[in-house]
Structure 1
Amino acid sequence: MSKFEVPEVDYERYSNRQLAAIPLALLAVALVVLAALWVTTGTPVPLGIDFTGGTELTVQTDTPRGEIGAAFDVEPANIQAAAGTADPQYIVTFADTGDSTNGSILADQARANLEATCDNTEECAIVQSRQSTTPRFASSAQNTALVGLVIAFAGMSVLAFALFRSFVPSIAIVISAFSDIAIPLAIMGLVGIKLSLGTVAALLMLIGYSVDSDILLNNHILRREGGFYESTARAMRTGVTMTLTSLSAMAVMAVTAYLFGIELMASIGIVLVLGLATDLMNTYMMNLSLLRYYKLGEVGN
C-alpha cells in the first residue's frame, strides 16, 4: 500500500505579499459576488424551503417529468428525479406554500392528476411523502441559523485570542476562518446551491475544520522547538494529510449522494469540499504569510 507524502514547499522563494495575494484576492471577489447577489436578489445565497417556507412532495408517477407541473394549480419551484428507486419517483418542491392546508391540497392534486401504476394497493399511493414548512417557522429557523453562525464565529475568535494572546497570530486564524465561509457561500450563490439547515451545518463544520488546521499551524510555529520552515513542514505533514483525508471523504459522499438523488447530502458534501479546499489555501498561504511576518519580519520583500 502506497504512503501519501506531503511535498515540502520552498517558501523562501515567495514573499509574504506573494503568499497572501491569491487568498486575499479570492476573498475580495467572493465578497463582491455576495454583495452583488444581495443587491440583485435580496439574499447573498438562494434560500431553501427551510428558510422560506414551502412544500416538498415525493411522488411516484408515470407522467413525464415535463408534464408534472401541469397537474398542480401552483407552479412547482423545482422538479427533481429521485434516483435509486425501482419505480419512477420525483421530488416536487413548491415555494411559499408551507401551511398544512396548502400541502394537503397539493397532495390531493397529485393523486387526482398524475398517473401511476399502483395495482390498487395502498402501498402504491402516488404521494410517497409530504413535508411542509410554514413561513413563520421558516423565518424563525432563518434567524436561529444566523445567530448560531454568529455565535460560533465569535466563540472561535475569542478562543483564538485566548490561546495565543497576540494580535497577528490570532487575527490570522479569524481571517482564515472568515474566508473559509465566504468563498464557499459565494460559489453557492453562483451555482444555485440553496442555503438550508443542512448546508448551515456544513458551514458550522467548516469553522471547526478551519480553527483546527490554523491552530495546528500556529502551535507548531510559535510554541514548539525548531526553525520556522522546519516547524511549518512538520505542521503540514499532519495538517495537509488530515484536510485531504476529510476532503476526499466529503467528495465521495457528494458524488454518491448525487448519483442516488439525495440532494441535501450532495449539497452538504459540495460545500464541505469547497470549504476544505479553501482552508488549505488560506492556512498554508495567507495564515503562513502573517505568521512569517510576525516571526521573521518582511521576508522576501
Structure 2
Amino acid sequence: MSGTITLPFDLAEVDYTRYSNRQLAAIPLGVLFAAIVVIAATFALTGAPVDPGVEFTGGTELRVAVDAPSNDAARDQIQSAFSTQPEAIQSVAAAEQTYIVTFEAGDGSGPSTTQLEQQAESAGFEILSIDAVGPSFGADTQQTALFGVLVAFLGMSLLVFAMFRSFVPSIAVVISAFSDIVIPVALMNLLGIELSLGTVAALLMIIGYSVDSDILLNNHVIRRSGSFYESVASAMRTGVTMTLTSLAAMVVMTITATLFGIQLLASIGIILVFGLTADLMNTYMLNLSLLRWWKFEGVSR
C-alpha cells in the first residue's frame, strides 16, 4: 500500500508513510496551543479575547478631507483639532487627502458627535461622512455577532456528527474547524485587527471553508472504495486545488484593498488568508492523522 500522493500541479509529493500520527498532529496542535495562549493573554490584559471595534464598543467615525502638504502634517492637524485624542487616524489611499478619524465612546464624558462635527468644521476640515454607534447598541451588536458565530459552530458540529455517526471522524472535523477559527483570532490580536461585523463575517466564512475541506477528506476515506492513501490522494486533488484557488483570490483582494486604503476589506482578506492556510494544515495533518489512527489502530466501526 503506497502512501505517496501526487497532485495535478507542481507540488512536492507527500509520503505520509514516512510520518507517524503523532508527528503529523504535533505541528497543528502546537500552533493551536500557541494561539490559545495568545488569546488567553489578550483576555487577561483587556477583558476580551480580541479587541472589539467601534461597531461593538460604540463611538464615532468621521471621514474628513484635510488640506495639508503631507500625511504627517494632516495627522498633526487632526490631532490638534479635537478636544479628545482620536483612537485612530487612517488615510484613504484611493482618495487623496481623505482620512478616517475614529473616536471611542468612552465613559460618556467626551465630546458628542455634534461637538466633534463642530470641531472638525472649525479646523477647516471638509466632513464627508459621520457614523456613530451608541455604547449600549454596540454591546448588543457584539453579543448578537458572537452568538451567531457560536450557533454556526454548534450547528456545524451537530451536522457533522449526524453525517458520520462515528466519534473520531466527527471530532476530527470539529477540532480542525475550531483550530481554523482560533488561529486567525490570535493573529488578529498580534496584528492589531479589531473585531467588527466584517471580521465576524470572515470568521463565519472560515467555518464554511473548514467544514467543506474536512468533510471532503472524511467522505473519501470513509465512504469510497480503494486504499486509505488512494482515498486521501483523491480528496487532495480536489480539496487542495479548491483551497489554494481561494487562497490566491484572497491574497489578491488583500493586496488590492491595502493599496486602495479599504481597511475593512484588507482585514477580511488577511483573516481569510490565515484561516485558509490553517485549514490546509489542519485538514491534511491533524484531521488526516486522526482518520489514519481510527482506520488502522482505533475502532473503525
Is the structural similarity TM-score above 0.5? yes
2:187 aligns with 187
Q: In the alignment, residue 13 of structure 1 is paired with which amino acid?
A: R
1:80 aligns with 90
> C-alpha displacement at 1:98, in angstroms?
11
1:205 aligns with 2:210: no
Q: What CA deviation, in whole Å up to 9, does each residue of 1:191-229 have, x standing for no partner?
A: 110000000000000000000000000000000011000
- Alpha carbons 1:98, 1:132 under 8 Å: kept: no
CA distance in 2, matches of 1:45, 1:107: 30
1:10 aligns with 15
1:47 aligns with 52
1:112 aligns with 122
Where 2:14 maps in the other structure, the secondary structure is: coil
- Alpha carbons 1:253, 1:265 under 8 Å: kept: yes
Gaps of 5+ in 1: 116-125
Counterparts of 1:24-63 in structure 2, within 5 Å, are 24-63=29-68
Task: Indicate how the Cα distance of structure 1 residues 216 and 6 shifts in structure 2: closer, same or farther if over 3 A, else same.
Answer: farther
1:120 aligns with none
1:102 aligns with 2:107: no
CA distance in 1, matches of 2:278, 2:54: 28
* The 10-residue stretch of structure 1 (207-216 or 4-13) with the greater mean CA deviation from structure 2: 4-13
2:102 aligns with 93
Where 1:44 maps in the other structure, the secondary structure is: coil
Where 2:132 maps in the other structure, the secondary structure is: strand
1:135 aligns with 135
Q: In the alignment, residue 78 of structure 1 is paired with which amino acid?
A: A
CA distance in 2, matches of 1:104, 1:232: 61
Gaps of 5+ in 2: 1-7, 69-73
Task: Indicate how the Cα distance of structure 1 residues 220 and 7 shifts in structure 2: closer, same or farther if over 3 A, else same.
Answer: farther
The size of the alignment, in residue pairs, is 284
Where 1:12 maps in the other structure, the secondary structure is: helix
- Alpha carbons 1:98, 1:134 under 8 Å: kept: no
Counterparts of 1:164-175 in structure 2, within 5 Å, are 164-175=164-175
CA distance in 2, matches of 1:211, 1:270: 20
> C-alpha displacement at 1:244, in angstroms?
0.5
TM-score w.r.t. the length of structure 2 is 0.91
- Alpha carbons 1:54, 1:94 under 8 Å: kept: yes
> C-alpha displacement at 1:5, in angstroms?
4.5
2:223 aligns with 223
1:162 aligns with 162
> C-alpha displacement at 1:75, in angstroms?
0.8
- RMSD across aligned positions (CA): 1.5
TM-score w.r.t. the length of structure 1 is 0.91
> What is the percentage of aligned positions where both structures have the same residue?
61
Where 1:43 maps in the other structure, the secondary structure is: coil
| Runs of 4+ with deviation above 6 angstroms | none
CA distance in 1, matches of 2:87, 2:129: 17
Q: In the alignment, residue 81 of structure 1 is paired with which amino acid?
A: S
Where 2:52 maps in the other structure, the secondary structure is: coil
Counterparts of 1:151-300 in structure 2, within 5 Å, are 151-297=151-297
> C-alpha displacement at 1:157, in angstroms?
0.3
CA distance in 1, matches of 2:194, 2:23: 34
- Alpha carbons 1:176, 1:287 under 8 Å: kept: yes
CA distance in 1, matches of 2:107, 2:75: 23
> C-alpha displacement at 1:7, in angstroms?
4.4
Where 1:194 maps in the other structure, the secondary structure is: coil
CA distance in 2, matches of 1:237, 1:149: 30
CA distance in 2, matches of 1:97, 1:151: 30
CA distance in 1, matches of 2:206, 2:279: 8
CA distance in 2, matches of 1:258, 1:44: 25
- Alpha carbons 1:78, 1:92 under 8 Å: kept: yes
Where 1:215 maps in the other structure, the secondary structure is: helix
CA distance in 1, matches of 2:297, 2:277: 28
CA distance in 1, matches of 2:15, 2:76: 56
